[in-house]
Amino acid sequence: MPTSSASIAVYAGTFDPITNGHKDIVERGLAVFDGIHVAVADSTSKQVRFSTEERVELVRGALRGIEGEERLKVESFTGLLVDYVASINASVIVRGLRAVSDYEYEAQMAHINRHLMGSIETVFLVTSEENSFISSSIVKNIASVGGDISRLVPPNVAKALSEKQA
């Protein structure tokens, strides 16, 4: 059982859009931690399709009804992730790994976060095999040419992407 300082974890990202892979990490994280804050990055260097408010609502809709939903909080944050983590008295960042190629970037981010705030740990969860090829970028690319994304994202996200394309 996690200690009280590690009982709340933060799963942060752009979530543009949230995918079934992201949802899988949240569900599996809830099996490890007492609660998870899904933190949607407000300011990002990435080109986003959805506004911050839209992404927060898409994440909330995608996670509605999952087991442990009452232990989730979804909100946006601005600035450094470590500052957000500290502001909610959490000490763990959860990150998902799809492939070895993700590890280099994620390890670099984990090291810099520890450098910035030594009390924060990063825990990596390996994405389930059936979700290992899914990324938000791939989903957006498929959706942009009218491809079927229904098995890659929650239904509310498929609908929202379809409406954005129209």
Catalytic positions are 22, 46, 98, 136
Instruction: Output the furthest CA–CA distance in the chain (Å, rounded).
Output: 48
CB atoms within 10 A of CB 29: 23
The Cα–Cα gap between 1 and 16 comes to 32
Asked whether 72 and 44 are in contact (CB, 8 A), the reply is no
SS (H, E, C) 100-124: HHHHHHHHHHHHHHHHHCCCCEEEE
The Cα–Cα gap between 113 and 120 comes to 7
The Cα–Cα gap between 163 and 154 comes to 15
